[in-house]
Structure 1
Amino acid sequence: MIQNILYHLRPVLRGFLIGIVTLQAAVAFLASCGRFDPAGHVFPNSIYLDVSQTDQEQIANFSNRVETASRQLSVVLAYPADNDVTATVSVDESLVAEYNSRYGTDYAFLPSQYLDFTARTVTIEAGRTVSETITIGFKGLAGDGADQTGALEIDRTWLLPVRVTSDDMDTMDGSSIAYYLVKRTSAITVAAQLTDNWINFPLLDEPGGLADVYNDLTAVTYEALINIDKFDTTNGFGECNISTVMGVEQYLLLRIGDANFERQQLQFDGSGNGSQFGKLPSKSDPSKRLESGVWYHVACTYDQATRTARIFVNGQMTDEAKDVGVTGSGEDNRITLAMQALGMAESYRFCIGWSYNDYRPLQGKIAEARVWRVARTQQEIWDNMYRLPDYEAENYPDLIGYWKFDEGGGNTIHDYSMYGNHGQAQTDLVWPEGIEIPEINKGEE
């Protein structure tokens, strides 16, 4: 009973600790500006781990294909000291029992054969507040050979407590220990952060070649995994009532929100020459709101042959319109996505996380984005929300764009389809740590 209460009180306790650390960080800033005199003894100086400044728990999820990985941290002083301060960062297995007792968990200590780290001593020079960077390495995660002999057990969480100590300085309560929750997971662990950022596809702007693959279509499916951080009404660019997933403005676009429409509801805009079904749905439904901070698989389909448009959330159809759109599929009314290759303005280009202007970025995380030149069935969408089985590009010729967002760094997004339509981020991409996308269809594929 008490353990459960303490477990649920963790956010409150962390908030209290964050306030203390924030105050000390402000003092450190003033000291660096020459506006604070440590002799004033507002509170004693102390050291802590930078990663524990806001949360002692550090999520370390790794793909089941990753052999080695690492996490970084530094030792920090609340404010500069007059003398050099030496500190040691080490693993402390004795803290496992304390953690489990406090939070009612039953995690085991990470086996030593998967850890590439020994105690490290660093020095913070007089007048400074931050040590050099310390790397905690993980090794042998995927085991040996094709059968992954000796691999870290899949989908099990292990605990690795790390603490800082010093003979020269007291440690800060609540921030001198970091608990790494280590998991080799079968789930997706990499996604890109598209905040005031988006993915462009310059190869689609050139006539012929790749543009021909994205034009003259008779059916389309868009799908992606998304997690919206905040449904902004204003952002860094101005007023905002749309979060763009992917597509082409006024032609075929999957988005969240619209003018005079529910801000957190998916909408499929098929106003272009090859679709002409308008907006699905046209009316808001608050019961279909997406929530911030939650992973969703979103998809939409349109088929000229059946004249049917659909929207899916987490593999379930939420909206459908039949007998809509074009009444015949001819050369003059095919679906076109590579609009600039046809001489259209830049506002009508295919992007992920952008449409029409800079006011409507996704403002969240994204992974597993795909474009098909067929209308996928509900069963196909449900079965393959998180991955395509036994994937080889040549086995999926109707998949014309496949961006896993699994790079984990850099600004180029690789297209895993057979067409090589690689994307380029508008600005430097952020690749957040601690990603683990829950698979709600697991065991039912």
Structure 2
Amino acid sequence: MKLRIYLMALLLSGAAFTGCGDDVTRNAPFDNKVYIDAASKTETMPLKNSFRETTRTIRAAVPKPAGQDVNLEFRVDPSLAATYNSAYYDNAEPLGEEFYELLDGKALLNQGTVQSSEVTVSFRNLNLLDRDKVYVLPVTIAAADGISVLQSASTHYYVFKGVPSISVVADMEKKNYVSIPTFLDEKPSAAVCNDLEQFTLEALIRVRKFDPGIQTVMGIEGNFLLRISDNGLKPNQLQYVTPYGNISNDACLLPTDKWIHIAATYDMNAKEVKLYIDGALVGEQGNLNYTEPANFGKPAGFQKQKFYIGFSYEPGRELDGEMSEFRIWNVVRT
């Protein structure tokens, strides 16, 4: 089994506003601009046979109450697929008209409010799309009467991509684990995984059973490590061990005999670590007192341990189950 190292950059942009008292906002040095009201600029949906149709709603917002009624128009702009690809280093093609319908596209932002009415996007026949490709549908604010549009947050991207089928896995059990030879020998090629100011670890796991005691997913003991259980934790409780404190709670309980996607991130400059299960944020720590670059390609952490998949510190901590799709990224993925 080999560990695939992916290098990519993720360009994120956005805008945030906070409302202040009336005496401040009247003299604020910026206009009250309208933007798409969404937590993220993108939403990714899976392409699979069972996923044929769905609907999504979209609306606009302003940072402070509108001074008048504002009529808005949302449109699909396929040309913005190129903008998405440039920003997210992807190779998506515009979603064809036969796979979606933007219902009406008109919305109203009433005077004195900060959110508009919703517009519905309906998707259909998604099971007919090629799962080896990536598709994107850019929906943008095309018109807003009497108010400026914040261009950096004027478009939302609906992204469709195939779900990888799991055909090759590592069947783990006692005394069975994976080491990375270049990491063990500190080869020059391992340097790509050292001095990381940001990283994301991710993997798919399916555990057969949870017995009392630690089961290891991957990482370095005493440094950055994903493992299941520990003193005081339940046998099926996922834990993200970091030099800045450990993350685990009741949202980290894992099922048996089911494929689960787990991911952990570190951002040295933002001073935060996060843990995800099946794409949902289950724990985080911010405002870390100190941070420094992370290393996986050379010994680190407790007694200069090394990076393993399915093992840490001593025998008896191997994972009892199957693993696949291990990745180390040198960026923080959403």
What is the TM-score when the length of structure 2 is the normalising length? 0.51
Q: 1:181 aligns with which of 135, 159, 166?
A: 159
Structure 1 match to 2:249: 361
For residue 135 of structure 1, what is the aligned residue in structure 2?
A: 120
CA contact (8 A) 2:48 2:131 kept: no
Specify the alignment match of 2:141 in structure 1. 164
**Whole-Å separation in 1 of the counterparts to 2:53 and 2:210:** 43
Which of 32, 37, 52 does residue 45 from structure 1 map onto? Answer: 32
CA contact under 8 A between 2:37 and 2:60: conserved in structure 1? yes
One-letter amino acid of the structure 1 residue matched with residue 55 of structure 2: S
Q: Distance in 1 between matches of 2:324 and 2:104?
A: 37
Matched to 2:116, the amino acid is: S
Query: 2 CA distance for matches of 1:74 and 1:158?
Result: 22
Aligned partner of 1:299 in structure 2 is 207
Say whether residues 1:65 and 2:55 are aligned partners.
no
Larger radius of gyration: 1
Find the counterpart in structure 2 of residue 440 from structure 1.
Answer: 325
CA distance 1:364–1:120, change in 2 (3 Å) = farther
- Partner of 1:40, secondary structure, is coil
Cα deviations across residues 384-409 of structure 1 (Å, max 9, x unaligned)? x74xxxxxxxxxxxxxxxxx99xxxx
**How far off is 1:9 after superposition?**
6.0
8 A Cα contact 2:59 2:107, kept in partner: no
Change (3 A) 1:73 1:295: farther
Q: Deviations over 1:1-57 (max 9, x none)?
A: xxxxxx73614xx2xx3xxx32x2x12xx3xxx545543233101100112x5x423
The answer as to whether partners of 2:103 and 2:120 remain within 8 angstroms in 1 is: no
Report how many aligned residue pairs link the two structures.
Answer: 216
Residues 433 and 86 of structure 1, relative CA distance in 2, 3 Å threshold: farther
Deviations 1:357-393 (A, max 9, x none): xx963544857x33xxxxxxxxxxxxxx74xxxxxxx
Indicate if the aligned counterparts of 1:88 and 1:121 stay in contact, CA closer than 8 A.
yes
- Give the superposition deviation at 1:98: 3.5
> What is the alpha-carbon distance in structure 1 between the residues aligned to residue 125 and residue 83 of structure 2?
27
Quick one: distance in 2 between partners of 1:164 and 1:107?
Answer: 21
- Asked if the contact 1:296/1:313 (under 8 Å) is kept, the reply is no
Flag the structure with more relative contact order, 1 or 2, with Cα contacts below 8 A and sequence separation at least 6.
2
Which segments of 5 or more consecutive residues in structure 1 lack a partner in the other structure? 1-6, 143-150, 189-267, 269-279, 282-286, 304-308, 315-349, 371-384, 387-403, 406-429
Contact 2:66 2:111 in 1 (8 A): yes
1:217-366 correspondence to structure 2 within 5 Å = 294-297=202-205, 299=207, 313=217, 361-364=249-252
Contact 2:140 2:154 in 1 (8 A): yes
AA paired with 1:43? F
CA contact (8 A) 2:43 2:158 kept: yes
Name 1:258's counterpart in structure 2: none
Does the Cα contact within 8 Å between 1:77 and 1:129 map onto a contact in 2? Answer: yes
After superposition, the Cα gap between the structure-2 partners of 1:56 and 1:38, relative to the gap in structure 1 and judged at 3 Å, is: same
For the residue of structure 1 that corresponds to 2:78, the secondary structure is coil
TM-score by length of 1: 0.39
CA contact (8 A) 1:116 1:137 kept: yes
Which of residues 85, 102, 116 in structure 1 aligns to 2:70?
85
What CA distance in whole angstroms lies between the structure 2 residues aligned with 1:353 and 1:9? 31
